Structure 1
């Protein structure tokens, strides 16, 4: 693969991840389970999520819309029409999203690889009364959500890096 094509993979990857995430959130907003029961939330919030609390339904719609914006932003880093958007704004958005998603995947924002491993190895005890659920959700986070956010964050940072290296 030529070097110029490899540099574009980050933006296309960020767009693909945003599409997948947005599709899942749209499905949840429309009433599908679509991995909602695997979301690593505290038990009381998880119950509200699964009961389709209006706040959670609204948040799914908002996240689906944000994912559409994410696809547009990711593709804007590659397309000629990005000239209509301030370059510094695109750089700030791509790098910020990349860093936040990587931080989430590692565990700096509460969930992530480190916290999951600590819980699953009993270094950090699970919540009393919800130990089995906490372990189950930690496995899902360790094997699905954290790697997904790590990939998505790496794609955003690669897109930002490519955009930063390109001449105006």
Structure 2
């Protein structure tokens, strides 16, 4: 049983959330986007996107490659933002500048994972159970994409969104020093 006071555990929770978010961002999404930007093709055909967007992704058009590089840049910014919540150099940034985007990103990712934004657990189950009409020519592709999304992408975005929320929640309130 942990007998340390709650105030001593708070810094470790902050660090855990921030570092986990940073690692999840860089190691998962960042690595994949960098791999795609450099011409890799693994998992591209299983990306849960509309047919035209998936075809562009598979064709590696200049626009999609540029999008991957933009994503890589955003991943770096996101990883640095997560670290800024626990590192001394991050104290120069206003707390709200860090936490408001983190809450928004976390909510969007959880919404995406659940299916509020079209893909996600709800949409995948609806496709797999036949609750959503899919044309006969697209049925096999839709079912395949739904299975991959249900087992890979939706859980990934759910955990990532929860990590962003945990990081935002654990970011300390910065009080100005008290003057004597």
TM-score in same-fold range (> 0.5) = yes
Contact 1:10 1:159 survives alignment (8 Å): yes
Unmatched 5+ stretches in structure 1: none
Return the structure number with greater relative CO, CA threshold 8 A, min gap 6. 1
C-alpha distance in structure 1 between counterparts of 2:24 and 2:105, whole Å: 12
Q: Does 1:25 align with 2:33?
A: yes
C-alpha distance in structure 2 between counterparts of 1:51 and 1:154, whole Å: 33
Q: Does 1:101 align with 2:109?
A: yes
Structure 2 residue aligned with 1:14: 21
TM-score of the two chains, using structure 2 as the length reference = 0.87
Q: Say which SS state the counterpart of residue 36 (structure 1) adopts.
A: coil
Q: Does 1:90 align with 2:98?
A: yes
Q: How many residues align?
A: 167
C-alpha distance in structure 2 between counterparts of 1:14 and 1:126, whole Å: 36
CA RMSD of aligned residues (A): 1.5
Structure 2 residue aligned with 1:3: 9
Contact 2:95 2:174 survives alignment (8 Å): no
Contact 2:14 2:86 survives alignment (8 Å): no
Please report how far the alpha carbon of residue 167 of structure 1 lies from its aligned counterpart in structure 2 after TM superposition.
Answer: 4.1
Please report how far the alpha carbon of residue 50 of structure 1 lies from its aligned counterpart in structure 2 after TM superposition.
Answer: 0.4
**2:151 aligned to which of 143, 153, 156:** 143
Which of the pair has more CA radius of gyration? 2
C-alpha distance in structure 2 between counterparts of 1:30 and 1:140, whole Å: 23
Q: 1:128 to 1:45 in 2, by over 3 A?
A: farther
C-alpha distance in structure 1 between counterparts of 2:166 and 2:58, whole Å: 35
Q: Does 1:158 align with 2:166?
A: yes
Give the 4+ runs in structure 1 shifted more than 4 A: none
Please report how far the alpha carbon of residue 37 of structure 1 lies from its aligned counterpart in structure 2 after TM superposition.
Answer: 1.3
TM-score of the two chains, using structure 1 as the length reference = 0.93
Please report how far the alpha carbon of residue 127 of structure 1 lies from its aligned counterpart in structure 2 after TM superposition.
Answer: 3.6
